[in-house]
Structure 1
Amino acid sequence: MLAYGEFQVASSGPLPSVEEQYSGNVLTQCIYRLNYAVTLAGNQDDPEKAIRTFLQEALRLFHAQHIYLFELSPEGNFDCSFLAKKDTIEAEPPQLQQLSTRIVPEFLDAFYAGRGYMVRDMKAYHEKNPIAAELLSRSGVSRMVTGPLLISGRLAGTLVLDGPEDDYLEVSMQLIGLSINFLGSQLRLRNRNRMLGRQSRHDPITGVYNIAGFQQAFTQFFKELREGRHPGKWATLFVNIRKFKTFNRERGYAAGDHLLKRLAAALTEACESDLITRLVSDHFMAVVADDKAETALRRVARQIQQRSFGMVSIGAGIYTMTGEE
């Protein structure tokens, strides 16, 4: 059974070695080191730095090959937020996204019952769940310990230890239980900061960049363009909806907002780019490969005319960039 009580953090400062402080008791030594890891991480000024610091220390603490921190997505999949391995911590590794929770129902059963799950022998586990065992074995996992990550009492993800050493296999379950409060609070802060950051850079109606967000993203893109990292010619499209005020007046503001959303979505799809901004009202700007600009405009115009039942049309202009402006 995992312990979910509050974990008191020791004061920071010089710490004696584990060998000096304790001897012969692996669990006591590990709790001491966990306390130290939480203290180091808690002194960071940013939740992402705190998580990275904790995972790097925890990798040594658990004597594990890897540590995975998965978050549960709204769609019910596991998305890996962090992968800790020797000397590096990788954020959101693409190969570990959208992993279906349906392949590990026994993990979820344990999590919702307030317990962790341990795989001591991958060959024996293969008889219980051959699909999951095959995936784990293919990744080089021979044994593992995993426990639920809770935020505000709800299952929000899981912490997975890959291949802890024999002496640490049993105590790992208890240590995960002591880690979840800290990790849960830091993830909550990180996700809140991300949401606030996104809100400050994106238009609330359409979801594309606002002017401030676009300036930041476009500055980086233009720098890379001048460095030759985006081959070929690129163009900016300037698009607006003709007779948009009339459409708003006759169909209502809710319909007008919906049309703006459709225009933003059509631009994103046609331009195959996220460098799109709503400048003001019904005026948008987008970055697109120069040889696709005219085709993109025709597709957008056709979609908007269909969505507005022919009540509006699209005005547009194309400006080719050279990277030397």
Structure 2
Amino acid sequence: MDFQEFVNNIEPMTCIISVEKFSDNSYGNIRLVAGNKAYIDSIENPENVASAQMLHNKFIPNSPYEKYIPKDLNFETACYQCAIQKKPYHTYIHPDRYSFWIDMYMLPLASDDPNIGYCTYTQEITIEKNDQRMTNLSADISAAVLQTSLKLKGTKDFRNTMDEVISDIREICAADRCCVFLTDFKAKKCSVLTQVVAPGLQIVPMETHMERDYGDFFDVVETWPATIAGSTCLIIKNSSDMDVLKARNPLWHESLMKAEVDSLVLFPLEYNDELLGYIWAVNFDTENAMNIKEVLELTTHLIASEIANYQLVDKLRIMGTVDMLTGVNNRNAMNNRVDWFIRSSDKKPETFGVIFADLNGLKQKNDKEGHGAGDQLLKDAAAILTDVFYDGEIYRAGGDEFMIIDCEASEEDLEQRVEKLRADSEDPANISFALGFYFDSGEGDIRKAMRTADERMYIDKERYYTLFPERRRK
């Protein structure tokens, strides 16, 4: 077949790809055999949107594809599936290395050489994402995506639903285990959101693996973007792919070998151009790699969107309930907690203690050293209260006043802590509090407890200033 004449009769950007086949069913060189004018322009024409993002702007027939794009295991898998296994292939993707989306079609061609397979590669570039093209799916993939969407939509238990979704994905991949990591590249932190393991497998939890075998697992996670190398994901199917991974990322490769990982799928979770984390499946059904890739390319969009919404709600919750200066609960959270004691039909604690702690000396600190020093004093005071009342709920009631509700400790225990803190407060070298304490031993009247503790705090403050009149506010 005259491949050049063949592609010249096709109008969309099209080239012919050859794949070298070995006797063990592995493959060798993948080459771009011929290309039509539209395809060659996408490489050579500087005005073409793709040209500036190719590795070399000169098309040479029968050149290895790596002359034009970085080595991409996903692209190689698609070529092998089409040219050698004779399976048509279509996908619509946005590799990170490009500023555009690619609608990709591949069709197998006949070959007279048993050691070489051929296929067509046709692409159409779109600058903006086309949602309609993303929904052009096979029935089984559509069902998997729909199932994920229905489970995520309107869930009230985010973590439980994520466990269910990731369990479904593990089954689709026929993997040993499937895990979702959350990442924060600014804070250089990562955490496991969920991990699902195949029934009957005894596998060390990922959190344990991270703590036991790594000083900081983020050192590994931050290498993943470079390892994916601008593609949409990383799929390792066999030892040949593992060799590519070893060359790119020897640190991670070593850890995978220790964990007896033979194959893996790693997909970034991105939302509005922000990397939120990763999903990975280990020791999966490699014969079904391309179908798994198509399912995950779409379900990861849904999962990332749900994670972004969950994180936003969590941030809003924190902003609404946490004092941003000291890190303890704020007045809004305190009011909600008090309202729960008063109005909720839930079972209340049988006993509880309420402590009011007013920070002495804040005004003098602000006047003499500035508000920065005063802010630090408030932070240190909150830290002390959190340490002393470790089993209680600490609230910044406002200004220099804190309230603690403790439903765990006994009256004697709390009274001892209050008295020690009061004695420590009389040392000029220590942070000083005026304290009021009330223990409810069964009445369940939070308003009485707060009122009494507040009154006792002011009595204690007067006692303090009587002992140390020079420290009285002026």
| TM > 0.5 | yes
Q: In the TM superposition, what are the counterparts of 1:188-227 in structure 2 within 5 Å?
A: 188-214=308-334, 216=337, 226=350
Determine if contact 2:141/2:294 at 8 Å carries over to the other structure. no
1:36 Cα shift?
1.8
User: Which residue of 2 is the match for residue 70 of structure 1?
Assistant: 181
Determine if contact 1:10/1:35 at 8 Å carries over to the other structure. no
Determine if contact 1:270/1:299 at 8 Å carries over to the other structure. no
Q: Summarize deviations over 1:251-298 as a string: whole Å, max 9, x none.
A: 444443332222112222343346211123211123485277158626
User: Which residue of 1 is the match for residue 385 of structure 2?
Assistant: 267
- Distance in 1 separating the partners of 2:131 and 2:193: 23
RMSD (CA atoms)? 4.5
User: Which secondary structure state, in structure 1, belongs to the residue aligned with residue 193 of structure 2?
Assistant: strand
Are 2:394 and 1:276 aligned?
yes
Q: Summarize deviations over 1:29-84 as a string: whole Å, max 9, x none.
A: 55223332343135335592764554343233323333211111243232111223
User: Which residue of 1 is the match for residue 435 of structure 2?
Assistant: 316
Q: Summarize deviations over 1:288-324 as a string: whole Å, max 9, x none.
A: 8527715862697489x5587xxxx321234456577
Q: Summarize deviations over 1:137-167 as a string: whole Å, max 9, x none.
A: 6767543211222232233211111232233
1:193 Cα shift?
0.3
Q: In the TM superposition, what are the counterparts of 1:228-239 in structure 2 within 5 Å?
A: 236-239=354-357
User: Which residue of 2 is the match for residue 20 of structure 1?
Assistant: none
1:175 Cα shift?
3.3
Q: In the TM superposition, what are the counterparts of 1:1-325 in structure 2 within 5 Å?
A: 3-4=93-94, 28=138, 30-41=140-151, 43-45=153-155, 48=158, 51-52=162-163, 54-73=165-184, 74-85=186-197, 95=208, 100-103=217-220, 107-111=224-228, 113-120=230-237, 125=242, 128=246, 132=252, 136=256, 141-214=261-334, 216=337, 226=350, 236-273=354-391, 275-286=393-404, 287=406, 289=409, 290=413, 293-294=417-418, 297=421, 301=425, 306=429, 313-320=432-439, 325=444
User: Which residue of 1 is the match for residue 121 of structure 2?
Assistant: none
- Distance in 2 separating the partners of 1:246 and 1:41: 57
Equivalent AA in structure 2 for residue 82 of structure 1: T
Equivalent AA in structure 2 for residue 64 of structure 1: A
Q: Which moved more, 1:94-103 or 1:68-77?
A: 94-103
- Distance in 2 separating the partners of 1:296 and 1:43: 52
Give the direction of change, closer, same or farther, for the CA distance of 1:121–1:40 in structure 2 (3 Å limit).
Answer: same
User: Which secondary structure state, in structure 2, belongs to the residue aligned with residue 205 of structure 1?
Assistant: coil
- Distance in 2 separating the partners of 1:78 and 1:307: 37
Give the direction of change, closer, same or farther, for the CA distance of 1:6–1:189 in structure 2 (3 Å limit).
Answer: farther
User: Which residue of 2 is the match for residue 15 of structure 1?
Assistant: none
Equivalent AA in structure 2 for residue 316 of structure 1: L
- Distance in 1 separating the partners of 2:131 and 2:302: 8
Equivalent AA in structure 1 for residue 301 of structure 2: N
User: Which secondary structure state, in structure 2, belongs to the residue aligned with residue 159 of structure 1?
Assistant: strand
User: Which secondary structure state, in structure 2, belongs to the residue aligned with residue 34 of structure 1?
Assistant: helix
User: Which secondary structure state, in structure 2, belongs to the residue aligned with residue 113 of structure 1?
Assistant: coil
- Distance in 2 separating the partners of 1:173 and 1:300: 63
- Distance in 2 separating the partners of 1:299 and 1:41: 56
Q: Which runs of 5+ in 1 are unaligned?
A: 12-26, 227-232
- Distance in 1 separating the partners of 2:259 and 2:437: 48
Equivalent AA in structure 1 for residue 268 of structure 2: P
Determine if contact 1:72/1:79 at 8 Å carries over to the other structure. yes
Structure 2 length as normaliser, TM-score? 0.50
Give the direction of change, closer, same or farther, for the CA distance of 1:9–1:277 in structure 2 (3 Å limit).
Answer: farther
Give the direction of change, closer, same or farther, for the CA distance of 1:149–1:140 in structure 2 (3 Å limit).
Answer: same
Look at both structures and tell me which one has the larger radius of gyration over its CA atoms: 2
Determine if contact 2:175/2:283 at 8 Å carries over to the other structure. yes
Give the direction of change, closer, same or farther, for the CA distance of 1:110–1:155 in structure 2 (3 Å limit).
Answer: farther
Q: Which moved more, 1:257-266 or 1:110-119?
A: 110-119
- Distance in 2 separating the partners of 1:6 and 1:260: 53
Give the direction of change, closer, same or farther, for the CA distance of 1:149–1:112 in structure 2 (3 Å limit).
Answer: farther
Q: Which moved more, 1:131-140 or 1:271-280?
A: 131-140
**Larger helix proportion of the pair:** 1
Give the direction of change, closer, same or farther, for the CA distance of 1:31–1:254 in structure 2 (3 Å limit).
Answer: same
1:236 Cα shift?
4.4
**Relative contact order: is structure 1 or structure 2 higher (C-alpha 8 Å, sep ≥ 6)?**
1
Determine if contact 1:112/1:155 at 8 Å carries over to the other structure. no
Give the direction of change, closer, same or farther, for the CA distance of 1:225–1:281 in structure 2 (3 Å limit).
Answer: same
User: Which secondary structure state, in structure 2, belongs to the residue aligned with residue 238 of structure 1?
Assistant: strand
Aligned residue-pair number: 294
- Distance in 2 separating the partners of 1:182 and 1:47: 16
User: Which residue of 2 is the match for residue 18 of structure 1?
Assistant: none
User: Which secondary structure state, in structure 2, belongs to the residue aligned with residue 118 of structure 1?
Assistant: strand
Equivalent AA in structure 1 for residue 141 of structure 2: I
1:109 Cα shift?
1.2
Determine if contact 1:149/1:184 at 8 Å carries over to the other structure. yes
Determine if contact 1:209/1:277 at 8 Å carries over to the other structure. yes
